[in-house]
Structure 1
Amino acid sequence: MTPPPSDPASAGQELGWTPIAEEAVRAASVLHPKEGALPRPNRRRVLTVANQKGGVGKTTSTVNLAAALAVHGLKTLVIDLDPQGNASTALDIDHRSGTPSIYEVLIGEVSLAEAAAQSEQSPNLYCVPATIDLAGAEIELVSMASREMRLKEALSSEILDEIGVDYVFIDCPPSLGLLTVNAMVAAQEVLIPIQCEYYALEGLGQLLSNIELVQAHLNRELSVSTILLTMYDGRTKLADQVTNEVRNHFGDTVLKTVIPRSVKVSEAPGYGQTVLAYDPGSRGAMSYVDAAKEIAQRGVEMKERSGTA
């Protein structure tokens, strides 16, 4: 007797399962992974998710990658540095005006520990929310001492060691202002989401130039470690052309996993959820889990390289 295939979709075809049953199997594999926890990095990884173009899946990728790592046993902190507060919404974190937020952290009124809140979507997932007060923060920061270092100083808090945070994702606003500079100074890595659409690479040169300036003058450890292709539509030739162009230009920096254009991914924030919580059996959820696994594996490879250095 031939054993059933390991792939849930193939198994569904052989056993005559319905599409709903197949999706239930995929959902179970996302929420209760057989392989258990992903490997921890040798040191806390701080990734700034940046792209000054709006609508590229920056916030969506931030929250879903963080949720996927958290589901697989890694303690993850999302810092919402966008005044729109979309990451806070997706993680169902209160971000009404007056709530302790990243704004108060940056101006020194509260500590990171006081502003961080645990998401109900996973005990391993935390978020420092953004309120509308953050909209005026860039103007206030201009006159402050060490204005580019405010977030880095906050992240040096002992609370991250006490919690045992493995990953920090900083969701930047769609601009190259002082908030984004703070994010780059505080991080070791930059993750750039690029949509598989026309004009995908427009403006990317300016972002890379700014990263080089930060590297030269403020943070020598910073590097573009990860590029994630989003909004992939396999029905179009354009998506393949953009994918090939990005891979040819950036090589192994680009994750093998591509995030498909998905209605479920778009709907999830409206319910105050990541796509992993909203529809864990969807293609979008599975793709973000695969991307998170790649990121975690790169953390292991970084550990091995540092061990042999």
Structure 2
Amino acid sequence: MPSSTVAGMGPAAPVFRPPGGLSPAPTPVRPADVSDDGRVGRVEEASHRGVSDESPFRPAPRPIPESDLAENDMTDAYVSRETEDPPLAQEAKRAVEILNPSGEITMPRPPKRRILCVANQKGGVGKTTTAVNLAVALALHGNRVLVIDLDPQGNASTGLNVPHHSGVPDIYQCLIDGVPLDAVTQAVEGIPTLWAVPATIDLAGAEIELVSVVARESRLQRAIRASEGEYDYIFIDCPPSLGLLTVNALVATDEVLIPIQCEYYALEGVRALTENIEMIRSHLNPVLEVTTVLLTMYDRRTRLADLVEQDVRAHFGAKCLNAVIPRNVRVSEAPSYSQSVMTYDPGSRGAVSYFEAAQEIALRGAQRTQPGAQRTQSGGNG
């Protein structure tokens, strides 16, 4: 192929010419393809194919008949009527269902009072969060609920916005001084059927002081039996240990609710807890039973959470609730406002998950009806 020579420059590079002697048309660069610094950016796919918007070889678009336009408009209108509500509307609907301002939505009340000890010797697995939010969910839907804060940190009292500073009558006085439970019970503001027994820093010394007290393992049980309050549910929030406070809670209840974080260390804590439950059942409380297991802090993005869920469900079977509590920022934010997530952000995923868990607990409690069982007063329950 011949090559041209430029004066003073030597032979120039060969130029490819297609058959027919026509040189290829340069690809036009539109203003949208030029960056601020003058460099040519990436052109559109049509330009890469050598066909620009101004090219005479681009076929003209086929005009759409008016009949088709009318049909498409009708189709879009029909689809818009059939689609679901937008996300904000769905969230608002869930919030109304959870807050239940009209009181129309109710969860079944148990045939007799249920006392659930929320326990796990592993810290940070969601014991307090679970006790508070389940109690609020049940109370908002037709149940009378009492929360006993047995943790010296007093986090359950904070979550329910119940005063628990030093000098406030609390559960410590019931355990050590024998003060009636009703005398230290406080109503929770904004929820008429929810009460709480707070815990102050004084409770931190109860572990040592209970050592020399007569019948030290059953002090809480006797206080609950002597109460005249009528409750459908009593939730006992235990400290993250297996000391005398947790032993008192396990002796005072028939049911244990175990929140399990979806991580490996949480499984080790459950093994130690189940061993202690067996020991207490053998020596102090023969009717004690693990009835409910709730998976918390579930992160669907990790494979580990899925494996832990499979192990827990394989071990506990039907005792595991179908509802799983996900990791949710709203659940963590709510205590800083002295609220449960049910009232702080009722439309959030965390609130919906705890609401579903409370529904399961209520339905299972209604199904545990014994022949001839009737609702009894709090004073006659143990």
Q: Same fold (TM over 0.5)?
A: yes
Instruction: Confirm or deny: 8 A CA contact 1:77 1:165 kept in the other structure.
Output: yes
Q: 1:21 maps to which residue?
A: 89
Displacement of 1:40 after TM fit?
1.3
Q: 1:3 maps to which residue?
A: none
Deviating beyond 2 angstroms after TM superposition, the runs of 4 or more aligned structure 1 residues are 11-17, 19-22, 33-36, 304-307
Displacement of 1:216 after TM fit?
0.7
Equivalent-residue separation in structure 1 for 2:189 and 2:265 (angstroms): 37
Residues 161-213 of structure 1 show CA distances to partners (whole Å, capped at 9, x for unaligned) of xxx20000000000000000000000010000001123230122211111011
Q: Which amino acid aligns with 2:233?
A: Y
Alignment of 1:50-199 (within 5 A): 50-160=119-229, 164-199=230-265
Equivalent-residue separation in structure 1 for 2:81 and 2:146 (angstroms): 37
Q: Does 89-98 or 21-30 show the bigger shift?
A: 21-30
SS of 1:78's equivalent? strand
SS of 1:99's equivalent? coil
Equivalent-residue separation in structure 2 for 1:191 and 1:230 (angstroms): 12
Q: 2:286 maps to which residue?
A: 220
Equivalent-residue separation in structure 2 for 1:203 and 1:57 (angstroms): 13
Equivalent-residue separation in structure 2 for 1:254 and 1:196 (angstroms): 13
Residues 266-308 of structure 1 show CA distances to partners (whole Å, capped at 9, x for unaligned) of 000010000001000111111111101111111111115776x
Equivalent-residue separation in structure 2 for 1:305 and 1:235 (angstroms): 46
Aligned pair count reads 293
Q: 1:279 maps to which residue?
A: 345
Equivalent-residue separation in structure 2 for 1:221 and 1:167 (angstroms): 17
Residues 98-138 of structure 1 show CA distances to partners (whole Å, capped at 9, x for unaligned) of 10000011113521111110111411111000000000001
Displacement of 1:43 after TM fit?
1.1
Displacement of 1:35 after TM fit?
5.8
Distance 1:122 1:247, change over 3 A: same
Q: 1:205 maps to which residue?
A: 271
* Max Rg structure: 2
Q: Is 1:245–2:314 an aligned residue pair?
A: no
Equivalent-residue separation in structure 2 for 1:289 and 1:15 (angstroms): 22
Instruction: Confirm or deny: 8 A CA contact 2:181 2:227 kept in the other structure.
Output: no
Q: Does 296-305 or 214-223 show the bigger shift?
A: 296-305
Q: Which has the higher contact order (CA 8 A, sep 6+)?
A: 1
Q: Does 297-306 or 120-129 show the bigger shift?
A: 297-306
Distance 1:86 1:217, change over 3 A: same
Equivalent-residue separation in structure 1 for 2:343 and 2:140 (angstroms): 10
Equivalent-residue separation in structure 1 for 2:85 and 2:175 (angstroms): 56
Instruction: Confirm or deny: 8 A CA contact 1:67 1:276 kept in the other structure.
Output: yes
Q: Is 1:300–2:300 an aligned residue pair?
A: no
When the two chains are superposed, the root-mean-square deviation of aligned CA atoms in Å is 1.8
Gaps of at least 5 residues in structure 2 are 1-79, 374-382
SS of 2:117's equivalent? strand
Distance 1:84 1:306, change over 3 A: farther
Q: Which amino acid aligns with 1:155?
A: I
Q: Is 1:37–2:106 an aligned residue pair?
A: yes
Equivalent-residue separation in structure 1 for 2:190 and 2:308 (angstroms): 34
| TM-score of the superposed pair, with normalisation by structure 1 | 0.91
Q: Is 1:291–2:357 an aligned residue pair?
A: yes
Among 241, 255, 259, which residue is 2:325 paired with?
259
Q: 1:231 maps to which residue?
A: 297
Instruction: Confirm or deny: 8 A CA contact 1:52 1:174 kept in the other structure.
Output: yes
SS of 1:251's equivalent? helix
SS of 2:247's equivalent? helix
Displacement of 1:20 after TM fit?
3.0
SS of 1:199's equivalent? helix
Instruction: Confirm or deny: 8 A CA contact 1:68 1:276 kept in the other structure.
Output: yes
Equivalent-residue separation in structure 1 for 2:252 and 2:227 (angstroms): 15
